[in-house]
A and B are shown apart, each in its own frame.
Chain A
């Protein structure tokens, strides 16, 4: 089973910030939080990841709570092209032969004009 829970769907107005939450209450100390998104009929695309500090890149910001049990992906100015399914997963960065990478159903984000 996936180690994360996310809302099934969300709407966001174009130009506004999209805040996508993720719960990962059983995260281990050496597990990172990764975010991906999948536009229809394409392979998922990596967005950002973090361990405990907040992270920002050209695509998004990642806010991780101090207890690391939840996080929020922020798309600062959502555009119609950001409409996609967003997946939050947790896994170790350096893996052994038995480290699975499990995806849940994700959040379907619709950006509305």
Chain B
């Protein structure tokens, strides 16, 4: 079964806790992206990575961290420093040649 997998789909956490969202792919794409979406809003870029062991901050990176130790995986950690972490988080892959993005189903994080 090929594609992009985000987990968990729903996640609840208490204030002050770090949480890591998983994004895994087996399509052999180099580029991976993390976006955040708030209700009724568009997508805002958190972090992105075009190659292994390299990643760049997006427009709203504060309070988040990522790693890209292998091509297949681009996990996002929402740290306690993120003041308003409740949101819908979307991971995407970028096709190397055509540039189109393939999105996962998303992870909905709720901070209690």
Give chain A's interface residues, CB within 8 Å of chain B: 2, 32, 34, 36, 41-46, 49, 85, 87, 91-106
Q: A101 is contacted by which of B42, B96, B101 (Cβ under 8 Å)?
A: B101
Once the chains are docked, how many angstroms separate the CA of A85 from the CA of B54? 32
Q: B48 is contacted by which of A36, A49, A101, A106 (Cβ under 8 Å)?
A: A101
* B72-94 contact mask (Cβ, 8 Å, vs A): 1 or 0: 00000000000000001010101
Give chain B's interface residues, CB within 8 Å of chain A: 31, 33, 35, 41-45, 48, 50-51, 54, 56, 58-59, 88, 90, 92, 94, 96-106
Take A42-B105, A43-B105 as given contacts and tell me if A96 and B50 are in contact as well, using a CB distance cutoff of 8 Å: yes
Residues B90 and A95 in contact, CB atoms below 8 Å apart: no
Q: A44 is contacted by which of B59, B98, B99, B101 (Cβ under 8 Å)?
A: B101
Once the chains are docked, how many angstroms separate the CA of A102 from the CA of B56? 14
Once the chains are docked, how many angstroms separate the CA of A103 from the CA of B45? 8
Query: Which chain B residues border A99 with CB–CB below 8 Å?
Result: 50
Query: Which chain B residues border A101 with CB–CB below 8 Å?
Result: 33, 45, 48, 92, 94, 101
